Structure 1
């Protein structure tokens, strides 16, 4: 791929015939800048790396919607800023922890702590019994905070199909947890 092509020319020339080359060229041009934008907003290098990865996946899925009303870099930075702001806002509103995370209440000998531990173990076992796609959909929706529309776009599904798959996955988890209890 020619390094002297503008972003818009890269998109026009290669997106329809060689999308991987197109994406690779744009990724290589902007990954460091997007990472720095994310790092400046999160002050966490691991989170900034995750956000950068997620942003480029989102951009690649929406690249055919780029209308060239502004430069590609402006469009990309706008998506980057909005994605980081949304994720930070969501994390403040819905604090989450991973199942493997060691939190203070694990060390407590109270009955409540034991119940939480047991519930987490049951949930972990239930999640392991789901298919990879079911786990992925649930994580994208409830851990990563993606919208139904974004998930549908990622999997090339209709929104109603995503909603139904999420519903069935939640019901399956409930059944598995009820069986265990």
Structure 2
């Protein structure tokens, strides 16, 4: 298959082609998901250089362990799980490697607010994973509509221009898409 034909294929088709030896498919998957992985890494590190390094590590890990993808979930969900776990691990390593002067260590007594903020962040990240899984369950057109509205911050008028759909149809589809995501999300938690 030609590269232009592959670009229109689903992730699963690209993975199957990669399994049969077509390495160009992974390049397409890389370009398809690079920004999402990078943004998640950036949310952990708050540093573009570190986020870039983590992103490269994640894709190297994902492509090296291609046989670990069993197809039980969507590729995007599997990649997100790798991303999340790799970022958490990297963050833990970074915290362990921080060296504090001895006198600071002896005077520091953790309070309950430190522990609760770590727990809250972990819970928020777990909810985010479940939300991402719920988004994978809805139809692609609903997902696109939600991405335009909430990820890209499009107004209803912008979406109307982009998709050439009436304002009332957009509002109705947004409501239905949110309900679908809510249904899958509530099942997961």
Structure 1 residues 84-130: Cα deviation after superposition (integer angstroms, max 9, x where no partner): 0100011111237xxxxxxxxxxxxxxxxxxxxxxxxxxxxxxxxxx
Q: Distance in 2 between matches of 1:65 and 1:49?
A: 24
The match for 2:28 is 25
Q: Distance in 1 between matches of 2:31 and 2:39?
A: 14
The match for 2:72 is 69
Report if the CA contact (8 A) 1:15-1:22 is conserved. no
The match for 2:115 is none
Structure 1 residues 44-102: Cα deviation after superposition (integer angstroms, max 9, x where no partner): 11000000000000000011220011100000001001000100011111237xxxxxx
2:51 is the alignment partner of 1:48: yes
Report if the CA contact (8 A) 1:37-1:80 is conserved. yes
Q: Distance in 1 between matches of 2:98 and 2:63?
A: 28
Of 82, 86, 91, 1:83 maps to 86
Q: Distance in 2 between matches of 1:14 and 1:55?
A: 18
The match for 1:10 is 14
Q: Distance in 2 between matches of 1:11 and 1:78?
A: 17
Q: Distance in 2 between matches of 1:32 and 1:90?
A: 24
Q: Distance in 1 between matches of 2:8 and 2:47?
A: 34
The match for 1:34 is 37
Where do 5+ consecutive residues of structure 1 fail to align? 97-181
Q: Distance in 2 between matches of 1:17 and 1:56?
A: 18
CA RMSD of aligned residues (A): 1.2
2:91 is the alignment partner of 1:92: no
TM-score (norm 1): 0.50
2:57 is the alignment partner of 1:57: no
Q: Distance in 1 between matches of 2:7 and 2:48?
A: 29
